[in-house]
Structure 1
Amino acid sequence: MKEGLIAYFKARPSKQFVAVGVLILVGISLATYFYKPPTLSSAFFDAQNAVQGWIDAEPQVSERSVRYRVRLDKYPRTMRVLVSGDLYPRFEYGDSILFSCAFKSPDKPKQSYKDRVVSICFSRGIEKIGSNNGNKIVRTLLTFKRTVRGHLGRYVREPYLSLLGGFLYGERSTLPDDFYQALVTTGTIHIIAISGYNITLIISFFTTALIYAGFSRLRVLPIVLIGVIAFVVFVGAQASVVRAALFGILVLVGRQWGRVSTPSTLLVAAALVMAAQNPFILLYDVGFQLSFLATIGLVYVAPYFSKVFSFVPAVLGLRESCAQTVSATVVTLPMIVFVFGRFSTISIIANVAILWMVPLIMTIGFVLLFFSFVLWPVADFLGWFIEYVLYFFMRILFMFSHIPYASFSLTFGIPLLIVSYIFIFTFIWYAYAQEKNN
């Protein structure tokens, strides 16, 4: 038995890499689980102390306040504090600020430390004392992102502007509360996050469109890759977006090569690179976990469901879209229930009903953005048109969210999470075996 297993892996170098990579990822996860994040010294928690630092991430704006992640001048580079302030005056990435407030430890230290945050506070007295810190490229990208929102705001009204921002660049802080709750109830909250799943939807849409336009698959690959890179730059090239894009590209490359061993190797390699950059994402970054799981579903389960949905017309990639939606939803469902504590009984149906609209909305949004810079009458018409599309989208979503027993609270512990994924991965193995035999 032992000799046969060794011979099996020797004959398959890619499986050697995958097996060793998975073991390393498990080891990293265990290390971060038992790791105790650093804390600020007790003297730092004096509310009278004035503290100086600079904003090293894009500010997170909500209805009542703004949160700034601040790198302190007199403390190690690995430490950040999360400072909540009033809506105005507004500060941006790279600004040096002086502030004072009562610091306290985060409620979930390890989850916060994935962003290097070791303390949080609220300050009503933030003073700007400098600017132009940090990376010049990041400053330029974030400035462009603010310009984009300003241009879209000329042609699209609220709440449609916030919803469109969620699709185009992952903006969720300004979404109406009732709409956000409807997303949670229907299990579609992922549509307003830049995830590997969403980017894969975009890739699939444009791949299908280009093939229908007469491009060969070999030509489609570089065109779509350039498009994904441009999209990452457009939304600010944040770490979470780069990770999501990488997972989306893995699905594209895996389909292009048509071999299961190739995406397996690339998927594990990508996870190793990301974990080396930030080990805490494995256990404490929900976005990473959902992107990783959704990618597994899209690579290994979607081919199986493509046959299940053989009755759905293949025109414009409709059958493929249904298969992808169900595959990603099934694989990510236990993790979503575990994290958010709610189980949506209509998640799969709701996703199938509305996800086909996401690439359409994004396409119209980008075309609108282009014309907002060059030809305002066209942009004015597109702004009017996309508001109606978004209104239709919201009506469908609210219709599903108001279905009786659409969702309910569900406590989902780690043991049940593990058992769920044992069943899911057993199903994946079965689906792959069936595909291989056929």
Structure 2
Amino acid sequence: MPRGKTDFLLFFSFIGGIFTASFFAQYYYVSIPLFIISLLLFLQKQEKRLFYFVLYSLIFSAIFFASFNYFLNYQNRVLKKEFYFENKSFLVKVLDEPREREKNIFVKVKILEEEGFHGLYKNIALYLPTDAEINYGDMLKIQGKIQTPQNTGNFNYRQYLNKENIGLVSVYPKFEIINKKQYENFFEKIKGFALEQKQNFKEKIKNNLSQDTASLLNSIVWGYKSDIPKDLSDNLSKVGLRHITAISGLHITLISTLLMESILLLGFWRRQAFLLSVVLVSFYVFLLGFPPSAVRAAIMGGLFLLSQNIGKPTNLLNPVLLAATVMLLFNPLLLKYDIGFQLSFLAVLGIIFWSNFIKDKLKILFFNNENYFLNIISLSISAQIFTIPLVAFYFGIVSLVFLISNLIILPLLPLILFFGFLGSIIPYGEVFLITIWPIVKLIVLISDFFSSLNFSFLNIQNLPLMYLVLIYTLLVILTYFVYKKYRFSSVKI
């Protein structure tokens, strides 16, 4: 069997075991036989020799069962203890940038010098008032009710926090700042520096644009999604533009495309453009403060850049599956409880399988000429093909006008990213921010207009998981026929 198909089965078996254990462990008597049958059917077409057919079947089945049990053991290991303190005091340190929300601030902290707490149980999720001035690296003394996260309804809040390596939670405890910005090593210093600059960039945008446009631009460029007013956020979901506010695989891929195009236009060779783009994307992730979601998105975007560097049709599926396998090996809870991981992974898969098909069908809009704007639109629409069902599952909204709104906005998104970034970081960059204000305002106006139309979206509440599986099964079948015609081609810039 060819090496590429062997690698595919290796990654597919591992991820399949994690997936089955995450979502269908209680239906193991159905899900496991289905996987084994699918594996045998695939192998039967690839390997006609009986010995190797049996050998491959045993190996890949063993990998599937190993990853299945790996997830269950990992899940049981992180959930085995219960803690409850009514009025306990701890000395803690802020581990990440506080996340501002509508009603509170979410702060991840680590317990310092306290015996009996190990692993994720040294980390606490604090919910503090919105006026709390807390920064990364601060040392706090907290006092109040601290406990193991409690699940509510069908939502497993405990595992949701476990995937961020958090084992305890405290809501509105008393707190006192003991020391500000206590960095212990070089990495903490550069991360602290990056987060300070990022906060300055955010304030610069807020001081030069109106509230709605400033919040939207800060979300697009710097990932501050919680700054967007709820009505605007809802409108973006209804018109299918919510994805532009998240630092995802699609986001980084668009930035990578913009960088490659710009550097190639300056006369650099493709290899030089690739290396410069990797450096600049890494610098962008540094300025974001190395959040895990951005790091994972950068890995996915980096694979896209690699395909552009090679400059010929390339099978990107195995590298993407390898990246996902490595991430899940370190934290198998990501597959079920990290929406950002799910969306980034599916977006890149959509690009791999669908971008050239979409580009071919949209060429008529560009008089059959392949150009930069056609690439941007085809990338974005193809990414959404695989993510729309998941968005409907989590957020209960399906936009019926997403194609129109994306055709209008997506060609302008690289300009927003480029000038928004420059306007934030360089002295006297206000002129760039003012320049792109009309474009950002256009997104707000389009969202308001289309969302006001009764036919623009569908509300789908409580979509059953089995329905979601059925939708993706049909999508995979459809994708197979697209693949047969268009193959795995890199998107030419």
| Same fold, judged at TM 0.5 (above) | yes
Aligned partner of residue 93 in structure 1, secondary structure: coil
Aligned partner of residue 48 in structure 1, secondary structure: strand
1:37-48 map, 5 Å: 38=78, 44-48=83-87
Distance 1:41 1:277 in 2: 21
Structure 1 contact 106–118 (Cα < 8 Å) conserved: no
In structure 2, the partner of 1:413 is: 464
In structure 1, the partner of 2:330 is: 277
In structure 2, the CA distance between the partners of 1:370 and 1:81, relative to structure 1 (3 Å rule), is: closer
In structure 2, the CA distance between the partners of 1:316 and 1:106, relative to structure 1 (3 Å rule), is: farther
How far is the alpha carbon of 1:148 from its aligned partner?
A: 2.1
In structure 2, the partner of 1:18 is: 8
1:11-410 map, 5 Å: 12-29=2-19, 30=21, 31=68, 32=71, 35-36=75-76, 38=78, 44-73=83-112, 74=114, 75-79=117-121, 80-104=123-147, 105-107=149-151, 108-131=157-180, 132-133=182-183, 135-257=188-310, 262-313=315-366, 314=369, 316-371=371-426, 373=427, 376=428, 379-410=429-460
How far is the alpha carbon of 1:185 from its aligned partner?
A: 1.3
Which one-letter code corresponds to 1:433 in the other structure? Answer: K
How far is the alpha carbon of 1:28 from its aligned partner?
A: 3.1
In structure 2, the CA distance between the partners of 1:390 and 1:14, relative to structure 1 (3 Å rule), is: same
How far is the alpha carbon of 1:41 from its aligned partner?
A: 6.0
Which one-letter code corresponds to 1:327 in the other structure? Answer: S
In structure 2, the CA distance between the partners of 1:140 and 1:331, relative to structure 1 (3 Å rule), is: same
In structure 1, the partner of 2:480 is: 429
Q: Deviations over 1:52-92 (max 9, x none)?
A: 22111110112442111122232213222211112334111
Distance 2:205 2:11 in 1: 44
Cα RMSD (Å) = 2.4
Distance 1:343 1:204 in 2: 27
Which one-letter code corresponds to 1:218 in the other structure? Answer: R
Structure 1 contact 37–110 (Cα < 8 Å) conserved: no
Structure 2 contact 191–286 (Cα < 8 Å) conserved: no
Gaps of 5+ in 2: 22-67, 152-156
Distance 2:350 2:214 in 1: 31
Distance 1:422 1:271 in 2: 20
Aligned partner of residue 403 in structure 1, secondary structure: coil
- Paired residues in the alignment total 422
How far is the alpha carbon of 1:409 from its aligned partner?
A: 2.2
Gaps of 5+ in 1: 1-8
Distance 2:322 2:138 in 1: 36
How far is the alpha carbon of 1:295 from its aligned partner?
A: 0.3
Aligned partner of residue 225 in structure 2, secondary structure: coil
Structure 1 contact 194–241 (Cα < 8 Å) conserved: yes
Which one-letter code corresponds to 1:76 in the other structure? Answer: H
Distance 1:360 1:60 in 2: 27
In structure 2, the partner of 1:4 is: none
Structure 2 contact 209–437 (Cα < 8 Å) conserved: yes
How far is the alpha carbon of 1:216 from its aligned partner?
A: 3.8
Q: Deviations over 1:271-302 (max 9, x none)?
A: 12211232211121111111111101111211
